Structures are given as C-alpha cells and as structure tokens.
Amino acid sequence: MKRLAVLSTLLFLVLIAAACTPSGTPFPVEYVPADPGNPASVVNAFFTARSAFNLDAAMQYVNDSTVIVNPRGTHTGVDQIREMVQSMMDDNFQFEITSSQTNGDQVTFKMQAYQNGQAVEMVNGQAVVQGGVIASMTLEVE
C-alpha cells in the first residue's frame, strides 16, 4: 500500500512537471569569454552568454553609456539593458550568430533567434565595440 502511494505521488509530480515545461526547450550553449581586442568576438560573447542564460557574463560587455535598440525599444545603460536581457531570458530566447563582418570597431551581423528551442526569426544587427565593450547596437527583425 505504501509503495502504491509513493508511485502515485511520483507519477503526479512527473505529470505536473510535464505540464509546466514549454513546448520546446532551450538548447545547451557553452559560454566562451570574448577577446576584448576583437569586436566580433565581443558581440558573439554577449549573445553566447545570453543564450547560456548567464546574465552576469552578458553584462560584462555593456556599460552605463551602452545603447541597444531592438524591437522591444531603446535600452540605455547597465540597468535598462540588464532588465531587457533578463526579460528575454525569462521568455527563453536564445541567439546564434550565423555571419558577421568587422570593419574597425563596427560589426555587422546576422543571427537566428530561437524561443523555447524553436527558430522564430532572423535578426540583422550592427554594433560598435570600443575597449571590449559594446558602445551601441541596433537589431532589426528581417
């Protein structure tokens, strides 16, 4: 009788967990720190950290004068950018840069956005990186 109660409880917990799991799951990402002298590496590390759900690692690539413009609005400084990044992490967004070109401190890139592990949109981006930190970034959905 006791064994049946334990099995029933276990089954109940598994069913609850399954009901609370999103239809897709984020994919595993290994965060690799940037080479601060390489602007494309800084941009890639920012998105890799975000995709690995490592907020603190992502935030090391912005400062109080960083401006990021994306479909959710304009975000300036560490506090606003942290809030935006956390919101996107809460919504299970991940990003994979598929191509990039660097011209001095400017990086032009294209990336695939995923939500809950499912590809949702392509994004075009432009960033200016100075001193190993993103000075500005603009992201537009294709």
Domain range summary for the chain, segments of one domain joined by +: 26-141
State if pTM tops 0.85.
Answer: no
Instruction: Tell me the pLDDT tens digit for each residue of 26-61.
Output: 778 888 899 999 999 999 999 999 999 999 999 999
Q: What is the mean pLDDT of residues 96-100?
A: 96
- The CB density around residue 46, as the number of other CB atoms within 10 Å, is 27
**Do 48 and 60 contact (CB within 8 A), yes or no?**
no
How is domain 26-141 classified at the CATH fold level?
A: Nuclear Transport Factor 2; Chain: A, (3.10.450)
